[in-house]
């Protein structure tokens, strides 16, 4: 009687860990990436972006992170929400990057625009990886029941 809920909880936790890790890695890439590129372009707003990135990383590693997040991840519809979030972040990164790709090779004439293009392209790859990982874990969990 007590075995089934524990297995179900483990499965749910695994999907939650994978999906949350995907979101946070992508967000940290955006925060640190925009911060560093802004500083390289001489924009002092880069320090603010880096600070937000450090705050995000500290929050992820803090003890209060999972108690807060688990209130969302424990919802039965969380996989659907996570999937929509994955697709949204992918679109947010991929569409501008594809638009920039149509400007090749002119985009490489400017160092700042080149950095922006790389930031978006790598972010798109991370978003695709997070989406694939989420779908794969979800399918595995469905097989296990």
Of residues 11 and 50, the one with the C-beta less far from another protein: 50
Binds another protein by CB under 8 A, chosen from 21, 70, 121, 138: 70
Q: Is 94 in the site for another protein (CB under 8 A)?
A: no
Total residue length of the chain? 145
Of residues 110 and 140, the one with the C-beta less far from another protein: 110
Question: Rounded distance, CA 31 to CA 69, Å?
Answer: 20
Question: Rounded distance, CA 100 to CA 139, Å?
Answer: 34
CB 19 within 8 A of CB 11: no
Q: Is 114 in the site for another protein (CB under 8 A)?
A: no
Question: Rounded distance, CA 87 to CA 95, Å?
Answer: 12
Number of H helices, E strands in the chain: 5, 0
Q: Is 38 in the site for another protein (CB under 8 A)?
A: yes
Binding site for another protein (CB under 8 A): 20, 23-24, 26-27, 30-31, 34, 37-38, 41, 43, 45, 49, 52, 68-75, 81-82, 85, 88-89, 92-93, 96, 106, 109-113, 116, 119-120, 123
């Amino acid at each position: 009687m007590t075995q089934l809920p524990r297995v179900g909880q483990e499965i749910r936790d695994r999907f939650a860990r994978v999906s949350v890790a995907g979101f946070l890695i992508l967000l940290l890439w955006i925060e640190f990436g925009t911060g560093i590129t802004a500083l390289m372009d001489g924009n002092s707003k880069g320090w603010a972006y880096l600070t937000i990135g450090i705050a995000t990383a500290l929050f992820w590693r803090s003890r209060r992170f999972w108690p807060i997040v688990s209130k969302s991840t424990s919802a039965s519809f969380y996989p659907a929400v996570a999937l929509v979030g994955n697709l949204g972040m992918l679109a947010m990164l991929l569409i501008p990057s594809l638009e920039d790709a149509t400007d090749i090779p002119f985009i490489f004439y400017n160092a700042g625009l080149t950095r922006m293009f790389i930031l978006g392209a790598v972010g798109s790859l991370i978003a695709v990886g997070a989406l694939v990982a989420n779908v794969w874990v979800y399918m595995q969990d469905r097989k296990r029941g």
